[in-house]
Amino acid sequence: MFNFFKKAKDKGILAPQNGKAIPLKEVPDEVFSQKMLGDGIAIIPEDGKVVSPVDGTIAQITDTLHAYGIKSDDGLDILIHCGIDTVSMNGEGFDVKVKEGQKVKVGDLIANVNIKLIKERGFSLHTPLIITNFDEIKDFEPVIGDVKSGETVVIKYKK
C-alpha cells in the first residue's frame, strides 16, 4: 500500500572480472554492440577469474561453458559472456565452479577462464555483462574504467 510514495533505490552491479570496463558499443560483435540482448558494459579482463557480480541464483550455464545467466535477488536477468565467438571452443579453457540453481553472493567464484588459450585461438577477450530484462530498469548508468572483480560498481541502476 502507498508504494507510489517509495523512491526508486539506487543499486549496483559489480565487476565480474579484474580489468577495464568499456562501453558495450565497443564490443567487436554486433549482437552485443547493438544491444540486441540488452544493455550493460564489457570487461577486457586481466585474468581468468570470473565472479558473481550480484547476489542471486545461477539460472543458466551454456553447454559450451563460456556464458552464465544469473537471476539477481532483485529480479534482474544478468548475462556474463566470456569472450567473443568462444562458443566454438566447446568448453575447452572454461572451468566452471557453479551449478544451475546454485545461490551465489557477490564475489563468489563462477569460473576460471584460460584467457591465454582464448588469445592463442585468436578470439577476443571482451566479456559483455548484460541486463537482459532491461525493461525492468528505470535509470541506468554504466561505469567505465579500471575495475576490480567483486568490488567496483560497473552498472548503476534504479528499478
List active site positions.
81
The alpha carbons of the chain give a radius of gyration, in whole angstroms, of 15
* Residue entry with cell 548508468: 141
Cβ atoms of residues 78 and 54 within 8 Å:
yes
Beta-carbon contacts of residue 104 (< 8 Å; ≥ 6 apart): 52, 54, 55, 56, 57, 58, 70, 98, 110
Beta-carbon contacts of residue 5 (< 8 Å; ≥ 6 apart): none
